[in-house]
Structure formats: structure tokens, C-alpha cells
Structure 1
Amino acid sequence: MSFTLDEAIALADSAHRGAVELGHRRGGDRRYAVRRLAEAAGYGPAYQVVAALHDDDEERGLGPLLLHRARDVGAPPEVVAALDSITRRPDPDGPSGWEDYQGSLVPRAAADDIGRVVMLLDGLVAMLPWHAQEPAEAWRLHVELRHVPAQATLLAAEALRRADGLPGSFPVERGAFVRWGIALETRLRGSA
């Protein structure tokens, strides 16, 4: 791949630095955790690049910006497609100003092999209490209303692709997937 992981990290860091300067919270720790999980799970450079570039904080609007920048600098088509699959699109007619998460974004991500894995890992990281960036009750509701249903959809799509012969390194049963992710994240945190 000609677009390297270091270039993706630099591109994402530049965009995030600008967002921090504008007063938005920094999301780099979560991106870093997702990229580390992808690497530790044996997923290659394309997965790690997408993990480094993704941003799902609509408040900052960095997802669409990073998608366009990745296209502009010549990221490979599979990276651009995966990043597009997990980037929430603006919807001026929607109640939040963004497309529906469960009805639009999650099914699009589920259809892309790289995007699906990155979104699963991102959702897993978001579900871990040590990554919570909001009060406990708000975090719990966010996990229950957003990440648990998304995870069910994404794991079902992953199970179908595995039945078609797609390799994967994590279990596709929800409870086993969460336990696998916690064990892997705990091991990575212990080695850092």
C-alpha cells in the first residue's frame, strides 16, 4: 500500500489538532486504541489506516473532512471505501443534522469488510469503561442505545461473510466477542 500508516496518523493528528484548537475534545486515544486492537488481532495495514483515520464525533465534523483528505492524498480505493462506509454523513433534514446511525451508517459499514471490522473494534473500545468520556449514566445509555444494537448488526454481517470464507480473528457471538476484546485490550494496556 503506497499510503502508509504513518501518513494516515499524521493526517489524522493534523485534523484532530485543529479540532482541539477550536475547543473540541480530543479523540486520539480512542483512535489509537482501535488501531492497536486491529494490529494485535492480526489485521493488516489497510485496517490500521482506516482505524487511524476514522472519527465518529459528529460535533467536530472530522469524519467527512478526513475522508476527503484521504481521497485527496491518494489513499488506496479500499481504504477510501472503508472510511466512507464508517463516516457518518451530514443530513440537513435529519433531527441531529446527521444521517441516522442505526438505519443508515451501520448497514453501510456492515457491507464493507474493512469498515465493518474497524467499526466493531471502535464500538468495542467505546463500550469499555476506561475509555468513557462522559458521566457513567450517560455512557451506559450511549452504549446500550448506540453500540449494542450496532454490534449485533455488524457481528451478524461478519458471521455471514465468515460463512462465505472470509477469515477473521475474533468470535462472532456477541458475548464471546466482547470477552475477546476485553482480554485483548487488557493485555495491550498491560504491555504499554
Structure 2
Amino acid sequence: MFRQVGSDVRGSRWARTVPRVVSDAPSLDDAVALATRAHAGQLDKVGEEYIGHPLRVMRAVAAAADEAGVDREHAQMAAVLHDVVEDSAVTLEDLVSLGYPPAVVAAVDALSHRPGEPVEDYLARVAADDLAVAVKRVDMADNGDPARLARLPADRADRYAQRYSSRMRLLDDLVATRKAAEGAVTQVEWAAAQKAVEGKAAAWGSDPPAASAT
């Protein structure tokens, strides 16, 4: 089934200026096309077309997704779209209207740095979403790629290298803290369940109650 998306999405310059017909289930190719339009005319820090960055992240995240235990296609969609909300007129509402999976939209939301938002708060949001974490790690690795940074003046290259290295460590720490907290909750729940079982066993004696005849 196809539907017209555009003028009915309020508050979006993208929706008002780029009418489009889309299916209810966008493919990875659709995501690439959307990102390409969204980043048209933008350049990266070394002066190349910006779309090259999300495309590299998209390609690299496939292996990372398997290792992280997240859906590969969702990771690739989130990767190629990870900057469209932050750096273009595309909105989260547009992505929902276009039919992108909720997990992809949630990851793009987590990956979109709000204006004035402290880095710690931003990365804490990323750390709460496994799909976003997989994408962000590859994103920062690409941004901090020594081969690309070598094309910049040394002082700028050093600043970028330090920035992405420190942010990667912070993200790893935040993810580890989250996992530890989740593990602690799981242990508490397990202990409570074990105690309940032991209590029932004590009430039953050595044998559980017999099943009633039917």
C-alpha cells in the first residue's frame, strides 16, 4: 500500500517542501535516498560531501550490530539517518509518517544532539538505547579516523582525536553503568523469586501439593 506523505505533517519544512509518495515499510535503499536528499549541499570537516560519513557508518555498523546483538537492518537504517534530524529539516515526525520502524526512530532520536545539551546528557540518552550505542560507536570511530584527521591541520586533528577518544570512553562508562544496574535489578528479582520458591517448598514439605483430579 502506498500513501502520500508531506503536507499533512505539520511543523516540518522538509514535509512541506518535498512532497513524496512512500510505502508503509521503507527499505534501506529508501533510508539512503532520504539521507542523501537531507544532506545535499552539506560538507564534512575535510570538505567532502557530508553524505559520505553516514554511508560509511551504515556500511561499518553491520558487523557491529551482530556483535551488539541488535537488528542489522535497523542498525544500518539508523546509521545512515543518524544526522538527518540534527542537521536537516527532517523531523522525527517525518520518519514516523514515512513508516520507519519504531526502533529506528527511537535510535535516531537518541542520536540527535539537542541544541545546548551537555555532552554527558546526550551520551546518557545514547547509552540507554542498544541500537543507538552500536551506531554511535561506529560514528565516533569514523569521525576520529586517523587517516581522515591527517588531512586537517595538526592542531584541529589533535582536538578532534581527543574529543572522540574521551567521548568514546564516556559512552563505554555509561553503558557499563547501565548494564551493571540492570544486572543488579536482575539479581534482586532472581533472589526474590528464589526466596518465594523456597518459601513454597517449606510450606509443602518435601513434596509439592498433588494436582487435583479432573
TM-score by shorter chain over 0.5 = yes
Q: Which residue matches 1:155?
A: 172
Taking the TM superposition and a 5 Å limit, the aligned residue runs for 1:13-52 are: 13-19=36-42, 26-43=49-66, 44-52=72-80
Change (3 A) 1:89 1:9: same
Q: How many residues align?
A: 150
Q: Which residue matches 2:106?
A: 81
Taking the TM superposition and a 5 Å limit, the aligned residue runs for 1:53-68 are: 53-55=81-83, 61-62=87-88, 65=90, 67-68=92-93
RMSD, aligned CA: 2.9
Q: 1:11, CA displacement in angstroms?
A: 0.4
Q: 1:105, CA displacement in angstroms?
A: 1.1
Change (3 A) 1:88 1:111: same
Q: Which residue matches 1:142?
A: 160
Q: Alignment identity in percent?
A: 31
Runs of at least 5 residues in structure 2 that lack an aligned partner in the other structure: 1-23, 67-71, 184-214
Of residues 100, 113, 137 in structure 2, which corresponds to 1:120? 137
Runs of at least 5 residues in structure 1 that lack an aligned partner in the other structure: 91-97, 166-192
Distance (Å, rounded) in 1 between the aligned partners of 2:93 and 2:157: 30
Change (3 A) 1:129 1:69: farther
Which runs of structure 1 show a deviation greater than 6 angstroms over 4 or more consecutive aligned residues? 161-165
Greater radius of gyration (CA) = 2
Q: 1:81, CA displacement in angstroms?
A: 0.7
Q: 1:69, CA displacement in angstroms?
A: 3.1
Highest RCO, 1 vs 2 (Cα 8 Å, sep ≥ 6): 1
Matched letter for residue 166 of structure 2 = P
Determine if contact 2:128/2:175 at 8 Å carries over to the other structure. no
Of residues 111, 135, 139 in structure 1, which corresponds to 2:128? 111
Q: What is the TM-score of this pair, normalised by structure 2?
A: 0.60
